[in-house]
Amino acid sequence: MDTRGRATEAETGCSDAERFELELEFVQCLANPKYLNWLAQNRHLNDPVFINYLKYLEYWRQPQYAKFLIYPHCLHFLEQLQKATFRKVLADPRAAEFIDEQQAHFWKYYRNSRLASLAPAGVDAPVGPFTVNPGVVDPMAPGAAELAVEVDRPLAT
């Protein structure tokens, strides 16, 4: 361990730059609900060592690290993965599919919904290739996953 409490290159087998790249890539993989489902089905999300690693990765929330993320919503899933309930729900492929669909809806409709909310009263918001769909659940909203997916109740098909 170095003076900051981090493992040294000799302990990890890779340089700080390589470690940064590996952790950056892994954190961004957490943005993929199907990958999260794979982790749950292969019991990685039940492993206390892996859970501890996820806690360690929370440093990516700091602005000096978050600026490197291409998929910043991975931080939302990193936060949710700290909760045992969310980890348990992810083992159900229907939950991962639901989250994936909600994520797609969010990306598809966010721009126009955001523009409409920012438009001055009485002025029509610019219309792009997508239409505004106010009924879509924002998967990034705090608690959205828990509201949409309950452990003891199957998902609607």
- For the stretch 60-85, pLDDT in tens is 999 999 999 998 889 999 999 999 99
State the residue for tokens 């019991």. Answer: 43
- Rounded CA separation 31/103 (Å): 10
Whether the Cβ atoms of residue 125 and residue 119 lie closer than 8 Å to each other: yes
Inform me whether the pLDDT recorded for 144 exceeds 60: no
- Rounded CA separation 61/76 (Å): 10
Inform me whether the pLDDT recorded for 148 exceeds 50: no
Identify the pLDDT of residue 135: 45
- Rounded CA separation 154/157 (Å): 9
Q: How confident is the model at residue 6 (pLDDT cuts 50, 70, 90)?
A: low
Whether the Cβ atoms of residue 133 and residue 105 lie closer than 8 Å to each other: yes
| Structural domain boundaries in the chain | 9-148
Of 69-83, 96-110, 115-129, 135-149, the one with minimum mean pLDDT is 135-149
CATH 3.30.200.20 describes domain 9-148: no
Highest mean pLDDT, choosing among 76-85, 129-138, 143-152: 76-85
What pLDDT digit, counting tens, does each position of 87-107 carry? 999 999 998 899 888 888 777
Identify the pLDDT of residue 137: 47
Kindly state the tokens that stand for 104: 């797609």
- Rounded CA separation 60/44 (Å): 20
- Rounded CA separation 146/129 (Å): 31
